[in-house]
Amino acid sequence: MVQRKIYGSFTLCQTDFKWFGPSLPHSTIFTVLSFLGVEDSYIDFFKKYLSMSLVFPQDGPNSEPRTRLCGVPISQTLSDVFGEIILACLDFAVSKATKGRCQLYRFHDDVWFWGQKGDCEVAWEAIKKFTKVMGLALNGEKTGTVHVSDKGEKPSSSLPKGPVRWGFLVLDPVKGRWVIDMVNVDQHIAEMRLQFAQCRSVFSYVQAWNSYMGRFLGNNFGHPANCLGIEHLDMIFSTFKYIQKKLFEDDDNTTGCEDVTSYLKSVIEERFGTKNIANVFLYWPVELGGLELRNPFISLMTARENSETEPNDLLEIAWEQDEEEYDEYKRAFEKDKSKHRVDVPQGCDAEKFFSFEDFVRFREETSPYLKAAYDRLLDSPTIKSLEYTRFVEYALNTLPLEFRTSKHIRTHFTAMDVYWRWTLHLYAAEAMERFGGLGLGEKEMLPVELVNLLRSERVRWQG
CA distances from 419 to 7, 51, 283, 423, 440 (A): 41, 51, 11, 6, 19
> Are the beta carbons of 63 and 55 closer than 8 angstroms?
yes
| Residue 45 neighbours by CB distance under 10 Å | 12
Share of the chain above pLDDT 90, in %: 51
Q: Which residues pair with 12 in a beta bridge?
A: 114, 146
- Nearest-5° Cα angle at 80, 79 to 86: 95
CA-based max dimension of the chain: 94
pTM, two decimal places: 0.84
pLDDT for 346 beyond 70: no
- List pLDDT tens digits, range 411-433: 888 888 899 999 999 999 999 99
CA distances from 367 to 7, 35, 359, 373, 457 (A): 16, 40, 10, 10, 52
Indicate the pLDDT class of residue 212, thresholds 50, 70 and 90: confident
Q: How many CA atoms lie within 13 A of 454 on its CB side?
A: 17
> Are the beta carbons of 10 and 176 closer than 8 angstroms?
yes
Mean per-residue pLDDT over the chain, rounded: 87
Q: How many CA atoms lie within 13 A of 224 on its CB side?
A: 26
Q: Which residues pair with 180 in a beta bridge?
A: 169
272, with CB counted inside 10 A (0-12, 13-18, 19+), is: exposed
- List pLDDT tens digits, range 223-269: 899 999 999 999 999 999 999 888 887 655 555 677 889 989 998 99
- Mind listing the domains of the chain with CATH numbers? 2-166 (3.30.70), 184-305+386-456 (no CATH), 312-339+347-378 (no CATH)
- Residues 257 and 164: their CA atoms lie apart, in Å, by 36
User: What average pLDDT does range 354-367 have in this prediction?
Assistant: 90
Element (H, E) at 16: strand 9-16
CB contact set of 254 (below 8 Å; sequence gap of 6+): none
Indicate the pLDDT class of residue 186, thresholds 50, 70 and 90: very high
The radius of gyration computed from the CA coordinates of the chain, to the nearest angstrom, equals 29
